[in-house]
């Protein structure tokens, strides 16, 4: 039976999904995007380049106005954490009474406390509690994406490696809706699986992100070039150690499973790709500071776990994020340069 599916934010990850879903067919796939990317999708469609293959096509509807869409069966949210609070109400309307919201993003998600014995929003990620109030953790599925993608031109996504997508309930329970999303993604050729411990899988991805994204953003170097900077690897390894200690204090002790040195110094060497946070710096976009670093540090502070490396990295990233926002505001004609 055909479903109404919305990709909310068709950047690198969202565009990858949209192209595969459209190419597979059988459903009404709509896209919420903006700017030149949206214009290209409306004119030509959206396409994914993966190796020698190019797939994609035209969506059912492409718009920058969520109210132009009817209620959806599945909404795949691929916006980054800083953009989520402002879409709380339009997302809730899209979900209606029975829609499924799957959040495919880096870092600690806004719904983290749902069902975890602390039923209140995380102020760093949901400052006014809009997502908690309007969407609610009960309507959220978690997602972890291990796939490298980049928007190389408006309407064109390049996949440079990785194809592992984990979907799971916040409480780790089996569910028909998680199975439905995994089945949908699997039919497009993605390696999608149901996670029995989505929080554990999120931590595993954070260990990778926290050792690469912040340092790529601050140095503006791709991973392979950053690896040649003396001492940077040691700092990245310490950042993973701190995050793993925080995770252990929160009930996910993965230290016997994960070797930080193998993450930072993989056997095959680092890729020449540009991390997602470096791509955001290149484009002058807001950075996922609190999802990847800030909330991990806050978890550590509350539990008395020292995080000396993250204590330094976090304000540097926040300063970089502020600089990018001020530059963007000035380019848009803002006179004060104040943060939005």
Catalogue the active-site residues.
205
| Phi, psi (rounded to 5 degrees) for 194 | -80, 130
Structure-token pair, residue 229 = 């900077």
35 CB burial (10 A radius; 0-12, 13-18, 19+):
exposed
Structure-token pair, residue 70 = 């009817």
CB 86 within 8 A of CB 128: no
Question: What does each C-alpha distance from 325 to 143, 158, 279, 339 come to in angstroms?
Answer: 28, 26, 15, 7
β-pair partners for 158: 49, 150
- Please tell me the number of Cα atoms within 13 Å of 237 on its side-chain side: 12
β-pair partners for 166: 144, 193
């Amino acid at each position: 039976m055909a479903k109404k599916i919305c990709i909310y934010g068709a950047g690198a990850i969202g565009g990858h999904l949209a192209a595969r879903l459209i190419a597979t067919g059988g459903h009404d796939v709509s896209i919420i995007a903006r700017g030149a990317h949206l214009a290209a999708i409306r004119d030509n469609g959206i396409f994914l380049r993966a190796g020698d293959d190019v797939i994609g096509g035209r969506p059912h509807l492409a718009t920058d106005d969520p109210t132009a869409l009817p209620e959806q069966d599945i909404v795949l949210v691929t916006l980054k954490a800083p953009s989520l609070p402002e879409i709380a109400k339009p997302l809730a309307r899209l979900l209606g009474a029975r829609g499924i919201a799957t959040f495919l993003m880096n870092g600690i998600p806004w719904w983290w406390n749902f069902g975890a014995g602390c039923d209140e929003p995380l102020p760093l990620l949901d400052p006014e509690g809009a997502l908690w109030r309007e969407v609610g953790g009960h309507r959220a599925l978690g997602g972890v994406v291990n796939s490298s993608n980049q928007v190389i031109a408006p309407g064109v996504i390049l996949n440079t490696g990785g194809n592992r997508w984990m979907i799971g309930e916040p409480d780790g329970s089996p569910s028909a809706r998680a199975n439905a999303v995994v089945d949908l993604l699997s039919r497009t050729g993605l390696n999608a699986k149901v996670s029995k411990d989505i929080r554990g899988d999120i931590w595993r991805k954070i260990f990778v992100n926290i050792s690469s994204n912040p340092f790529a953003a601050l140095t503006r170097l791709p991973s392979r070039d950053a690896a040649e900077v003396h001492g940077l690897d040691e700092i990245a390894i310490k950042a993973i150690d701190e995050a793993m200690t925080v995770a252990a204090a929160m009930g996910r002790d993965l230290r016997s499973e994960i070797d930080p040195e193998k993450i930072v110094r993989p056997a095959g060497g680092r890729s020449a790709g540009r991390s997602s946070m470096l791509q955001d710096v290149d484009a002058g976009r807001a950075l996922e500071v609190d999802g990847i670093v800030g909330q991990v540090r806050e978890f550590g502070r509350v539990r008395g776990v020292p995080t000396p490396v993250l204590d330094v990295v976090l304000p540097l990233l926040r300063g970089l994020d502020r600089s990018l926002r001020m530059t963007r505001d000035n380019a848009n004609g803002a006179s004060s340069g104040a943060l939005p």
